[in-house]
Amino acid sequence: MELKFEVSIKIQKGVEEVFDAVYNPEKLSGYFTNGGASGPLDEGKTVIWKFDDNPGDKPVEGEVHVRKMVRNELIEFEWMGSDHMTQTSIKFERSGPDTVVKISETGWEENQADLDRSYMNCFGWSQMICALKAYVEYGINLRKGAFGGLYKTAKP
């Protein structure tokens, strides 16, 4: 059994605007990488994504290795899961005047720990595309204040 998932959403904006909100580091940092993104998602580049409000005890950052980028259609990258790379694909499809965004991820090993991690990533990408929709359609940052301290471990 291959561990993989896909999440999708329709955004009521044109594909060029939606694509740019993911590709452009300034826009991406406005609703997702709230600690910043070191550069645009150009094919062959490695960028750093930072999350100041990670649903854990401290901020995190990760390297995103962009494998393929087709403007207004596709961004594919690898990034570090727990101890190995996973592969993520973000597809942008025109739907009349709107855009359908589909995010899929694969690359976990078939064990309980990676199954748990895949669920957490599915949760994260679902939140990301909802935040993308709110940001592009309404200029709202859904991530602001959403996670800080939410999953901290209780101390005796």
Is residue 154 a part of any domain in this protein? no
| E-strand stretches of the chain | 4-11, 36-37, 46-51, 60-70, 74-80, 85-95, 98-106
Is residue 111 a part of any domain in this protein? yes
Is residue 146 a part of any domain in this protein? no
Is residue 151 a part of any domain in this protein? no
Is residue 56 a part of any domain in this protein? yes
What is the Cα gyration radius of the chain?
15
State pTM to two decimals. 0.89
Is residue 147 a part of any domain in this protein? no
8 Å CB contact between 24 and 47: no
Is residue 82 a part of any domain in this protein? yes
8 Å CB contact between 51 and 34: yes
Instruction: Quote the tokens at residue 14.
Output: 């044109």
Number of domains in the chain: 1
Question: What is the rounded distance in angstroms from the CA atom of residue 110 to the CA atom of residue 1?
Answer: 7
Question: What is the rounded distance in angstroms from the CA atom of residue 43 to the CA atom of residue 151?
Answer: 34
Report the CATH number that the domain containing residue 107 is assigned in CATH: 3.30.530.20
Is residue 97 a part of any domain in this protein? yes
Per-position pLDDT tens, the chain of length 156: 789 999 999 999 999 999 999 999 999 999 999 889 999 999 999 999 998 876 556 678 889 999 999 999 999 999 875 567 899 999 999 999 999 999 999 998 899 988 888 898 898 899 999 999 999 999 999 988 777 655 554 443
Q: List 80's β-bridge partners, or say none.
A: 85
Question: What is the rounded distance in angstroms from the CA atom of residue 25 to the CA atom of residue 9?
Answer: 21
Domain that holds residue 67: 4-138
